[in-house]
Amino acid sequence: MNRFLEILCCLIAGTIALPFFLAGCVIVLFSVGRPLFFGQRRAGCNGRVFRIWKLRTMSDTRDQSGALLPDSERQTKTTKLLRRVRLDEMPQLVIILRGDMALVGPRPLLPETIEEFGDNGRVRCTVRPGLTGWAQVSGNTALSNDEKLKLDLWYVAHRSLSLDLKILFETIMVALAGEHKRPDRIQAADNWLDSRKETPA
């Protein structure tokens, strides 16, 4: 997807989503309180570190020893809905306009996680991280980290305008119908990775 089309899509999506985003801010305020936003360092294209922002959908509730409770216990029904329809990700449209992220690409991860991936992490970071990606429309939370990495690497090697548009369309469908694991896509990524290993240098 070229930069002009990406910016145009961001402006249209931001305009449409703005009333829902403002409603989401109110939901967060009354569900989990302040601050409204969650920020964290993430690795971008070529490993360049930037700060990502989301609507905060989890409280800071801790157990008796002071450790944070599991994610599922720190969300409310309404903030879970915000996550499902991706409204919590809307602040990232500004980051896309700034150029640190893309509409479509592998989701931005912690720099330490990218380091742990080794060479695969460097390949994954040859493109800008995305608001949504191939792994997110192929199972997302139902996938293991290894499966997500394989799908991300497959995307980097096969990305195109038609694939990006397909992912954007499927992102809307996932928000409406929920996440469903796609074993066929995981198998295709596995087969592609195996074929790369078998190809002589």
* Structure confidence by residue, pLDDT tens digits, 27-38: 999 988 889 999
Q: What is the Cα–Cα distance from 51 to 169, expressed in whole angstroms?
A: 27
Q: What is the Cα–Cα distance from 37 to 25, expressed in whole angstroms?
A: 9
Residue 198 has pLDDT above 70, yes or no: no
Closest residue by Cα to residue 89 from 142, 10, 4: 10
| pLDDT grade for 59, boundaries at 50, 70 and 90 | confident
Model's pTM, two decimal places?
0.87
What's the rounded mean pLDDT across residues 55-64? Answer: 83
SS3 state of residue 62: strand
| pLDDT grade for 199, boundaries at 50, 70 and 90 | low
